């Protein structure tokens, strides 16, 4: 009996040592990778071993705010903080790293920021341990942040478990009758089932109070991104966990995100099961952008697509990065150029978060 207990004790210790060794090896391997693009967040720099899950917005004054998760290792759980940098020159230079949410050994993740155009406030939705949902607000363009506020009871029904905001920028609607409504793309799992589903949450009072919006019917969806169409409808573009068809999934809403149409496949936008980004470039003329790793199996070949017909068809434009690439986000600059913030690396796409500027001449219809 004692011998068996001793063997079990040794077995646990060995497993623990193996896990630690793998983490150390992984961190060393990741830090050794390099990228041909300028880093905004680089592994093993400014206090964190790994940076993942980027999001970016432009303030009313034109300042860029870049958010991500600062991690001890590559794993999605554990001691993870929400960090931020800012740029006053369209990404040429960036500020020192700022930790805006640190909750000890907990996971502060899934950034989904938006700028309230009426007040100029930066509203950042995020989650704690993929369980609770919080709002962080800055009234001075990211210089200082209010204490994170728990809104879980407002947006998460009792029968939902694992929960994530974004991770990607949220949006504020421009058309009536839902003008100024803030829409945050989310996803969740349902207790007692294997269902993983995309949904949205929203606020009609500048981020003060929040409500759960509609959930799509297809349970093989999760991380999603949303854009407003010129006629006021919403387009939800979703990561697809149905591996029999390597295409993104889409759905539409006619009521400001309260309900969603049956889910269909996008015939052009393929994916390797990874996050992607929709961005409204302009309403007049109607230009939508989409970026993801355009590959059926691997996270690589980050590609820009443009639509001039509300997302019905997509024009292949250019490869942003041929090599390894994964999660990303985009923002339109004052001069019409677009900044794409994305994960990149040589062997794995996780050596840090870099950016590339896409000139307006590539985007605007000839």
What single string gives the DSSP state of each residue in 315-341? EEEEEEEEEEEEEEEEEE-TTS-EEEE
Decide if 27 is inside a domain: no
Residue 227 has pLDDT above 60, yes or no: yes
Decide if 338 is inside a domain: yes
9 phi and psi angles, rounded to 5 deg: -65, -45
Q: For residue range 170-223, what is the model confidence (pLDDT) as tens digits?
A: 999 999 899 999 999 999 999 989 899 999 999 999 999 999 999 999 889 999
Residue 6 has pLDDT above 60, yes or no: no
Decide if 56 is inside a domain: yes
Decide if 234 is inside a domain: yes
Decide if 19 is inside a domain: no
Q: Which domain holds residue 185?
A: 33-363
Q: Is residue 317 within 8 Å of 302, Cβ to Cβ?
A: no
Measured CA distances, 335 to 221, 296, 306 (Å) = 35, 34, 18
Q: For residue range 242-253, what is the model confidence (pLDDT) as tens digits?
A: 888 999 999 999
Q: Is residue 113 within 8 Å of 100, Cβ to Cβ?
A: no
Residue 7 has pLDDT above 70, yes or no: no
Residue 15's pLDDT band, with cuts at 50, 70 and 90, is very low
Can you say how many angstroms the Cα of residue 320 is from the centroid of all Cα atoms in its chain? 18
Residues in the chain: 366
Q: For residue range 274-313, what is the model confidence (pLDDT) as tens digits?
A: 999 999 999 989 999 999 999 999 999 999 999 999 999 9
Q: Tell me the C-alpha distance between 352 and 325, whole Å.
A: 10
Decide if 52 is inside a domain: yes
Number of domains in the chain: 1
Q: Can you tell me which residue has the tokens 């697509």?
A: 305
Decide if 21 is inside a domain: no
Decide if 2 is inside a domain: no
Confidence (pLDDT) at 42:
97
Indicate which CATH number applies to the domain containing 249: 2.120.10.10
Q: Nearest Cα to 250, choosing from 310, 195, 329, 325?
A: 310
Residue 9 has pLDDT above 80, yes or no: no
């Amino acid at each position: 009996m004692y011998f068996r207990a001793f063997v079990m004790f040794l077995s646990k210790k060995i497993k623990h040592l193996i896990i630690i060794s793998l983490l150390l090896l992984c961190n060393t391997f990741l830090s050794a990778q390099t990228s041909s693009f300028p880093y905004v967040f680089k592994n093993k720099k400014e206090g964190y071993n790994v940076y993942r899950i980027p999001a970016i917005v432009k303030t009313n004054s034109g300042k860029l705010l870049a958010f991500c998760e600062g991690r001890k290792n590559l794993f999605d759980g554990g001691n993870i903080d929400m960090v931020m940098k800012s740029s006053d020159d369209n990404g040429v230079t960036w500020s020192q790293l700022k930790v805006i949410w640190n909750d000890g050994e907990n996971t502060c993740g899934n950034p989904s920021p938006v700028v309230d155009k009426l007040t100029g406030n930066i509203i950042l939705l995020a989650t704690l341990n993929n369980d609770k949902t919080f709002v962080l607000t800055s009234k001075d363009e990211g210089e200082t942040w209010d204490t994170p506020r728990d809104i879980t009871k407002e947006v998460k029904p009792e029968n939902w478990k694992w929960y994530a905001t974004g991770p990607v920028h949220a949006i504020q609607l421009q058309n009536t009758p839902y003008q100024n409504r803030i829409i945050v793309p989310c996803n969740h799992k349902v207790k007692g089932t294997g269902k993983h589903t995309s949904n949205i949450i929203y606020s009609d009072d500048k981020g003060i109070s929040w409500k759960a919006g509609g959930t799509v019917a297809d349970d093989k969806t999760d991380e999603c991104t949303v854009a407003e169409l010129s006629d006021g409808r919403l387009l939800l573009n979703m990561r697809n966990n149905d591996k029999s068809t390597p295409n993104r999934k889409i759905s539409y809403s006619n009521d400001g995100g309260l309900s969603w149409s049956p889910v269909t496949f996008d015939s052009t936008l393929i994916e390797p099961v990874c996050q992607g980004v929709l961005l409204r470039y302009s309403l007049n003329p109607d230009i939508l952008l989409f970026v993801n790793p355009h590959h059926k199996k691997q996270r690589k070949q980050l590609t820009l697509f443009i639509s001039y017909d509300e997302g019905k068809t997509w024009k292949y434009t250019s490869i942003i990065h041929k090599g390894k690439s994964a999660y990303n986000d985009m923002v339109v600059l004052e001069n019409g150029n677009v900044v794409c913030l994305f994960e990149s690396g040589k062997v794995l796409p996780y050596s840090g978060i870099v950016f590339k500027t896409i000139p307006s001449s590539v985007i605007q219809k000839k």
